[in-house]
Structure 1
């Protein structure tokens, strides 16, 4: 079997510290990377723009939130506001003539600065009190965007993204925008994977598990909580800018409201907190499951297997989608990543199932 632990003998510490120490995992990553790179060649523009592009960008945003909620254990219910700050900052800067590369960096820094300001509440409170602090950020940023015309132009105004280049490549085609989103998602993925292996990541896990115990062993919990908010907000701000330039190509206040925050939290929870694979699975499930269910029910209605009214047909997919989320939380609280991990471990030791711990 190509997917088996037998025959794998690590003789150096560097081998065991690899991101993917098992050969089969490296093959999987290579195949997925090749499929992602070749997606514009075998996917239609509809699937590329309506499915792949938002899935990649929201996966990056979910991973950014996972760094804070999964690794550091800090609740955040205002992450859509962080993305909104990044999106509006990048648009205003590029309109002023700033190159997109610098605008993306600045959007992340502005979002990180404001996110850290509200995240400072984590130094004094946690749990539901921290939820209220970050929720206040969401509603405050929403109010500012809607009512300060200099930022958004008004409650119903739309800001179009200007024509820009990234690394001397014009972002005027769907393929160029797709590859920029893919590049950013790959950067965030590799960053989160490596953070989990560093002293910074281990300190975040210690703060998550028991902050008082972490302080006893010498971990500066105030420092690492602020660093977690800063890093997560920076990644979220850049993800918001990528979302604006690569997917929406325009921004309105309604694109970053509280509903988007709930979706991002659902992506992190359903996928599996602290899991990189879970970030992709959770984003794909939350974004694509309602569409798949709606198309499936519509096909059954067209075939005459179901007799449903238009209004009921629009609500049934949402009901099934909600039931699926409840089912995941009931039967596998650790999310889709845990289901994947269970399947992976089964094949690693198959057929010697009794060797599983």
Structure 2
């Protein structure tokens, strides 16, 4: 059996944020049911009985703009069609202000065991700048309601480097988030994507972004403040809490679904614009809603693009993703897949990066130091130059 991660994209939201370039649409409630039926049909079209599902991740968009009963029905269909491991991680993304206590209880009863809350900031000023529909009080309420509903694995998504944000502002957001006692924190630097309203605001001088040095200081604050509060960094942007007193020592709050991506393992993506990589083959679904719905209704797989990967490209991707992890690329998995060791592939390019304090060697592999993480793109470009 081939173990895979399963991702389902919900492209609907209540209002599109000013920084968002994801495939998502505000409103369009009349398309909800058609789209859910198409997701179920695509699963039936693509499912291979030789697969088993290790993780399920329902993302968006905002999945929780859908009725909780619809998400529960979607999960029931997955478990009917696919072979889902008994201890599978099942995550749903939730935006504060789009789900209440009974809805959270319904998701938990349906088998959702991990909730990822789109908090983004602990300061209402910055939430307004981003175009978010919620307040910090809404985040606090959602977390409290989720705990009451029985969720024991809650992630908060946060963004730093926001327009007008200072290091002190970001440190206050971190302290606010820690006080909510989530089990996992994802802290991403803001990306100003082309074609977004935020890009226009920056270009026209209506908002000012922090400098590179200020953003670097915010990143370093993550690596200092969160571990001191009991959160272990396991990936450049992700931190999982350590088990508390009385909990099983084996408790692991790392996102198992995202680990599938970073370890370059197989995943199947369903829905609009979803990406899949299985057995070395990659494809991307159609990103036009009507075209996607029509293709699935006609009984055809809604593939928009097939991306052929050469062995060299695949090897580079595996290393790029592996270096995001604080443990570095897995040397045994790499050698098993490619028949060559990390040291042979990376060669003499490693030593200057070790000497410069950007990499360190440990457990038969190489890991980015905090200094290396700050400039990871440049480090990996130098390290993997022959493969790129």
TM over 0.5: no
Which structure is higher in RCO with an 8 Å CA cutoff and minimum separation 6?
1
**Which structure: greater helix fraction?**
1
Query: TM-score interval w.r.t. the shorter chain?
Result: under 0.3
Output the TM-score relative to the length of structure 2.
0.25
**Which structure: greater strand fraction?**
2
